[in-house]
Structure 1
Amino acid sequence: MNLVTPTPNASAPRPRLREPGLPLFRPGTERHLLRGGGAVILHLFRGDRVTVTDREGRQPCEIAAFAPDGQEDLGALGLDAVRESAGINRLLAGGDPESRAVASQLRQRNLPSRVSRAGLLFARDSRPGETVEMAVAREGIAIFHAAGGPMAVDAQDAPTDLTLVVHRATATPLIEPPLPEPLADFREELRVAKCTARGYEVKAGEYIQIIDVAGRQCSDFVAVDARLLEKGIDRGFDMTATRTMTGLLYPGPGLASKFFSTDLQPLVEVVQDTVGRHDAFGLACTARFYEDSGYPGHPSCSENFNSSLASFGVVPKRGWPCINLFYNTGLTSQNAIFLEDPWSRPGDYVLLRAMTDLVCASSACPDDIDATNAWNPTDIHVRIYPAKSDFQRAIAFRMSADSEPRLTRETAFHPRTSALTRNFTEYRGFWLPSRYTATGAVDEYWAAREAAIVLDLSALRKFEVLGPDAETLLQLTCTRNIKRLADLQCVYTALCYESGGMLDDAIVFRLGADKFRLVCGDEYTGQWLREQAAKRGLRAWVKSSTDQLHNISIQGPKSRDILKEIVWTAPANPKLEEIGWFHFTIGRIGGYDGTPVIASRTGYTGELGYELFCHPKDALKVWDAVWVAGQPHGLKPLGLDALDMLRIEAGLVFFGAEFNDQVDPFEAGIGFTVAVKGNEEFIGREAVLRRKEHPQRTLVGLELEGNEAASHGNCVHVGRAQVGVVTSGCRSPILKKNIALCRMDIAYAAIGTEVEVGKLDGQQKRIPATVVRFPFYDPDKLKPRS
């Protein structure tokens, strides 16, 4: 067993063309992601080599190994039994889906469901990227477990991910990547060979999984109502009807998820989608398309559909209306349709549910004359699952182009929020409520301004920043002066690239001398922090803890009255009512033996408010306690639609609207986060200060005349010249005006300047507007300080 800490190879040639997501491993090499707290079971053979990488550091890996006869055999991996296998046994005894899946795999292999001893990789202070290599001496089954249990709210020991790479001694050349594991027990599966199509039947309620086997391959999908077909009526997809009914170019998982026929009847709904980039603009490719391109006789999807559906009595068509799965097209500003290489990677899929009995066909598009299939047609695979299957609606989220996909998750508060609404929005890998059925966005807004609301913000990313150089790392990466941060205090900050553009905004909590927690919006921020620590050789660890800390926000003038009734704190900690703005306390819900929480006086509404952080296993207890205590005070749930109105009125910025990697903190309107004289070290400081001294744009507030609202991206003009762009806009219920945040040319940023918000092409329609002071509501922030 060898311990390796990888270092960059400066002499390695740089590839000219980089395509993230395509398989890069040679035949015989497998890569497995081991989620924090989870397990991977591998069948290993003599001569195989296994490499385990601690991605974030300080993450122990427990390993158990069995010989083919079921006897424990850690020696096959060159390991000694150094500890009782508490982690693996705790996992196997659990009742969650991960535990049941691991236990099921052991039963299928006739292996015991309990382990007596286990090997251990990585010391307590293992570095991010630290690697252990093992040679397999003999055949067996191994369990790899990223050990760790539930993290306490004031602890920082969240289990994090490991990577396993297996180099097989006997490499079988792969003609194509392996298929993803089935989502459940399927009724039928079929392979659609490249440049062909296949027809099949499904019953109402059954699920159809269409898989891109090798990546970058389009698959047209057609469906005809089978019950009407028996009567001689041909009703298939109508994309005009679908776009009209859903308001979307392409439906995705959620409420607006169905594809409709000409009769406005739903035929299929989208349940899961790991790509999110498809097309419903045109027809399946036709013989005429290839003929007009100079390729007469070329096979086409439409002709292939006619052949594959003939036996079902479907009338042939010269061009088939269809769902063009994995087809990467768009519209230019001149209304021309264009295409590029598909986004799909090997194993990507779309899962559809039949709304009625259907005759279907799937193609593996034969187009090899342009980028439709990345110039290289490959196979498509179809699996059909019975109607009794239960699949959650989900979209694949990737932290970066090279990251493993993760399907949309429900927060720990979802059982309570989903009982109050069906309107959910996918936000960075989580489902969050957009509005609630019994109230609606305006009533939720007024509850926040006049009483109190509770809001699920568990999708915020949390990172534990630890170690003797933790403060140094945050001083380097945050624009604030972190050295001035006291225990139980937190601060709002920006994080910038060397260019001065913003990577993210965040709140940094100080739990102790060398212990911090960073709460932000972007999952990539944690990876960036680790990269900065590695570049400078800092002894600091950045551990992902989002899955160990979910949080709700209780905001409004009655929020303190609600929470002080239920949050108990030890005598050494501040009481809830004693917490100052941007401070926090550690306590429990209900008393000395209650549910542990961290309560911070922070928020995103411009009102007095707090946030409660807890472990997901305790989330329902926390929600219920807040809900019961809040009813006498008029507490209501609040969704993202109302939150957007609140934060615009309060002048609070949002990624992708007020800031991005091209915008510095001063341009974003949060120049107060830059410690010009208190932090001479932060990344991007020179660029930020240079921009400050020579500003070109700044964030301003606009009040619009009339009743038409501005929206993100609207141009702002003085005469014919564009001088700004609207970043966010809404109708303010309390001000009874249309307001907007605008990134404005500095020459037109003075209060009182008259401008016009452009609609249509920016020239044909203009809405008069005036630059005003912002925040629009409570500009001196007296309410959150109260």
Structure 2
Amino acid sequence: MADLKRTPIFPEYEKWGAKTVDFGGWDLPVQFSGIKEEHHATREKAGLFDVSHMGEIEVTGESSEAFLQKMVTNNVTKLNINQAQYTAMCYPDGGTVDDFLVYKRDDNDYLLVVNAANTEKDYDWLKEHQIDGVSIENVSDQYAQLALQGPLAESILQKLTDDDLSEIKFFRFKDDVSFTGVNHTAIVSRTGYTGEDGFEIYIDQSSGRALWQAIMEAGEPEGLQPIGLGARDTLRFEANLALYGQELSKDITPVEAGIGFAVKVKTEDDFIGKDVLAKQKQDGPGRRLVGVEMLDKGIPRHGYDVLVGDEVIGFVTSGTQSPTLDKNVGLALIDVNHAEEGNVVSVQVRKRQLEAKIVPTPFYKRG
């Protein structure tokens, strides 16, 4: 594993008993105490995630808003300073380049937080379409990123700062937040990938480890646990949050994947892929992402075929045994003609066709 990239937090993994894996060229923890335990800790108390492998791309300059308005599916002009927006970036055929967050730090100053495996591809795509008055810089190496998620996230993090974190509303952020015993200030954003309340924190990579240690110490009395990739996946899956490479890809549009809310086709501005996506929103896509709950014993895994009789009508994008529901459930992209809730379909699990029914999503919603 010597050739794998490591985040600034890596030295902390051993202390907490991490089991690491190769994740897109990064040596990252798949679990610490165990996936189910970490999942429940995040739902019931709080969990701390090292997500420093994520990519950060700065887009600045006098034409940056107009440029992003052309490149992404959401309406960037609606963003206020200190506000974040979820969006997608598409190819001309509507297929997805990536889904990510856009942070407006100032007029003409945006930070894009992109999926780790797509960082170079996204950067190249942006550069390919660069216009005058725009500067694009991959600043991923400058940042460590931590995510503190769960119902106790605010009370834990508040111990470390004089900034009033309750003032940060959903999809808003504060710049230059100071933490006790940590050299650099940070961007603190009320966002996350778990379906819980919490924060994503961006700080100079040289202060990442100190911030991790401070948060773990502050959260010890509340039962804070470090969380690996395994529980990160089950948490986001239950909340029906898309994962690039599964729910979204170059062959799956944002509308098909159920994130049409981030596709604003009624704006006057054209963006790449708008024609295709506007037609899908108007007429309805031919495929739709649905929830499936297994009736027979078996787990629907990514890539498994979904059938009605002998006809393949789609495939599973993600699936697992839900720790919260204690049921075997999945997300599947299927022919819209079979997508009605309550319909019974089959999932090809190895050599067997197992029955499942189509159910509402998300599987979990915070009360």
Taking structure 2 as the reference length, what is the TM-score of the superposition?
A: 0.95
Q: Which residue of 1 aligns with 2:209?
A: 620
SS of the equivalent of 1:611 reads strand
Q: Do residues 508 (structure 1) and 96 (structure 2) align? A: no
Pairs within 5 Å for 1:127-138:
none
SS of the equivalent of 1:474 reads helix
Q: Which residue of 2 aligns with 1:50?
A: none
Q: How far apart, CA to CA, are the structure 2 residues paired with 1:457 and 1:688? A: 31
Deviation at 1:430?
2.1
Q: Aligned match of 1:725 in 315, 333, 336?
A: 315
> C-alpha offsets along residues 284-313 of structure 1, whole Å, 9 cap, x if unaligned?
xxxxxxxxxxxxxxxxxxxxxxxxxxxxxx
Q: If you compute each CA radius of gyration, which structure gives the higher value, 1 or 2? A: 1
Could you tell me which amino acid in structure 2 is paired with residue 528 of structure 1? Answer: W
Q: How far apart, CA to CA, are the structure 2 residues paired with 1:739 and 1:609? A: 25
For residues 450 and 662 of structure 1, do their structure 2 counterparts lie closer, same or farther at Cα, with a shift above 3 Å needed? same
Could you tell me which amino acid in structure 2 is paired with residue 774 of structure 1? Answer: T
Q: Which residue of 2 aligns with 1:248?
A: none
> C-alpha offsets along residues 484-536 of structure 1, whole Å, 9 cap, x if unaligned?
10000001101101110000001000000010000011111011111111xxx
Pairs within 5 Å for 1:516-535:
516-521=110-115, 522-523=118-119, 524-533=121-130
Q: Which residue of 2 aligns with 1:89?
A: none
Q: Do residues 608 (structure 1) and 197 (structure 2) align? A: yes
SS of the equivalent of 1:458 reads coil
Q: How far apart, CA to CA, are the structure 1 residues paired with 2:162 and 2:111? A: 22
> C-alpha offsets along residues 686-707 of structure 1, whole Å, 9 cap, x if unaligned?
0111233252101000111244
Q: Do residues 452 (structure 1) and 46 (structure 2) align? A: yes
> C-alpha offsets along residues 624-672 of structure 1, whole Å, 9 cap, x if unaligned?
1101111111100110111111111010111111111111101111111
Q: How far apart, CA to CA, are the structure 2 residues paired with 1:458 and 1:653? A: 19
> C-alpha offsets along residues 326-379 of structure 1, whole Å, 9 cap, x if unaligned?
xxxxxxxxxxxxxxxxxxxxxxxxxxxxxxxxxxxxxxxxxxxxxxxxxxxxxx
Could you tell me which amino acid in structure 2 is paired with residue 433 of structure 1? Answer: P
Note if contact 2:183-2:207 (Cα within 8 Å) is conserved in structure 1: no
Q: How far apart, CA to CA, are the structure 2 residues paired with 1:727 and 1:758? A: 13
Runs (4+) of structure 1 exceeding 3 A deviation are none
SS of the equivalent of 1:595 reads coil
Could you tell me which amino acid in structure 2 is paired with residue 465 of structure 1? Answer: V
Q: Identity percentage over the alignment? A: 35
Q: Report the aligned-residue RMSD.
A: 1.5
Q: How far apart, CA to CA, are the structure 2 residues paired with 1:421 and 1:473? A: 45
Q: Do residues 704 (structure 1) and 298 (structure 2) align? A: no
Note if contact 2:341-2:359 (Cα within 8 Å) is conserved in structure 1: yes
> C-alpha offsets along residues 459-483 of structure 1, whole Å, 9 cap, x if unaligned?
1110011100111111111111001
Q: Aligned match of 2:156 in 539, 548, 562?
A: 562
Deviation at 1:594?
5.1
Q: Do residues 748 (structure 1) and 344 (structure 2) align? A: no
Pairs within 5 Å for 1:647-666:
647-666=236-255
Q: How far apart, CA to CA, are the structure 2 residues paired with 1:431 and 1:745? A: 38
SS of the equivalent of 1:628 reads helix
Note if contact 1:557-1:607 (Cα within 8 Å) is conserved in structure 2: yes
**Stretches of structure 1 lacking an aligned partner (at least 5 in a row):** 1-252, 254-392, 395-407, 570-574
Q: How far apart, CA to CA, are the structure 2 residues paired with 1:445 and 1:462? A: 26
Deviation at 1:620?
1.6
Note if contact 1:462-1:518 (Cα within 8 Å) is conserved in structure 2: yes
Could you tell me which amino acid in structure 2 is paired with residue 466 of structure 1? Answer: T
Q: How far apart, CA to CA, are the structure 1 residues paired with 2:162 and 2:60? A: 27
Note if contact 2:103-2:112 (Cα within 8 Å) is conserved in structure 1: yes
Q: Do residues 773 (structure 1) and 360 (structure 2) align? A: yes
More helix by proportion, 1 or 2? 2
Q: Which residue of 2 aligns with 1:596?
A: 185
For residues 700 and 679 of structure 1, do their structure 2 counterparts lie closer, same or farther at Cα, with a shift above 3 Å needed? farther
SS of the equivalent of 1:629 reads helix
Higher alpha-carbon deviation: 539-548 or 682-691: 682-691
> C-alpha offsets along residues 371-400 of structure 1, whole Å, 9 cap, x if unaligned?
xxxxxxxxxxxxxxxxxxxxxx12xxxxxx
Deviation at 1:679?
5.6
SS of the equivalent of 1:444 reads helix
Note if contact 2:298-2:349 (Cα within 8 Å) is conserved in structure 1: no
Q: Do residues 580 (structure 1) and 169 (structure 2) align? A: yes
For residues 739 and 679 of structure 1, do their structure 2 counterparts lie closer, same or farther at Cα, with a shift above 3 Å needed? farther
Could you tell me which amino acid in structure 2 is paired with residue 727 of structure 1? Answer: T
Q: How far apart, CA to CA, are the structure 2 residues paired with 1:443 and 1:498? A: 43
Could you tell me which amino acid in structure 2 is paired with residue 626 of structure 1? Answer: I
The one of the two structures with greater contact order (alpha-carbon pairs below 8 A, sep at least 6) is 2
Q: Which residue of 2 aligns with 1:429?
A: 25
Deviation at 1:427?
2.6
**Stretches of structure 2 lacking an aligned partner (at least 5 in a row):** none
Q: How far apart, CA to CA, are the structure 1 residues paired with 2:253 and 2:355? A: 28
SS of the equivalent of 2:97 reads strand
Could you tell me which amino acid in structure 2 is paired with residue 556 of structure 1? Answer: G
Q: Do residues 669 (structure 1) and 258 (structure 2) align? A: yes
> C-alpha offsets along residues 527-583 of structure 1, whole Å, 9 cap, x if unaligned?
1111111xxx331011111100110100011101111121333xxxxx311111111
Q: Which residue of 1 aligns with 2:347?
A: 757
> C-alpha offsets along residues 129-187 of structure 1, whole Å, 9 cap, x if unaligned?
xxxxxxxxxxxxxxxxxxxxxxxxxxxxxxxxxxxxxxxxxxxxxxxxxxxxxxxxxxx
Q: How far apart, CA to CA, are the structure 2 residues paired with 1:676 and 1:766? A: 40
SS of the equivalent of 1:426 reads strand
Q: How far apart, CA to CA, are the structure 1 residues paired with 2:64 and 2:346? A: 48
Could you tell me which amino acid in structure 1 is paired with residue 269 of structure 2? Answer: E
Q: How far apart, CA to CA, are the structure 2 residues paired with 1:673 and 1:744? A: 21
Q: Do residues 548 (structure 1) and 138 (structure 2) align? A: no
Could you tell me which amino acid in structure 1 is paired with residue 250 of structure 2? Answer: D
Note if contact 1:530-1:541 (Cα within 8 Å) is conserved in structure 2: no
Taking structure 1 as the reference length, what is the TM-score of the superposition?
A: 0.45
Q: How far apart, CA to CA, are the structure 2 residues paired with 1:465 and 1:630? A: 35
Deviation at 1:417?
1.8
Pairs within 5 Å for 1:330-479:
393-394=2-3, 408-436=4-32, 439-479=33-73
Note if contact 1:451-1:556 (Cα within 8 Å) is conserved in structure 2: yes
> C-alpha offsets along residues 40-94 of structure 1, whole Å, 9 cap, x if unaligned?
xxxxxxxxxxxxxxxxxxxxxxxxxxxxxxxxxxxxxxxxxxxxxxxxxxxxxxx
Could you tell me which amino acid in structure 1 is paired with residue 358 of structure 2? Answer: V
Could you tell me which amino acid in structure 2 is paired with residue 567 of structure 1? Answer: T
Deviation at 1:590?
1.7
Note if contact 1:481-1:679 (Cα within 8 Å) is conserved in structure 2: no
Note if contact 1:428-1:459 (Cα within 8 Å) is conserved in structure 2: no
Q: Which residue of 2 aligns with 1:497?
A: 91
Aligned length: 362
Pairs within 5 Å for 1:131-530:
253=1, 393-394=2-3, 408-436=4-32, 439-521=33-115, 522-523=118-119, 524-530=121-127
Q: How far apart, CA to CA, are the structure 2 residues paired with 1:422 and 1:453? A: 14
Note if contact 1:429-1:459 (Cα within 8 Å) is conserved in structure 2: no
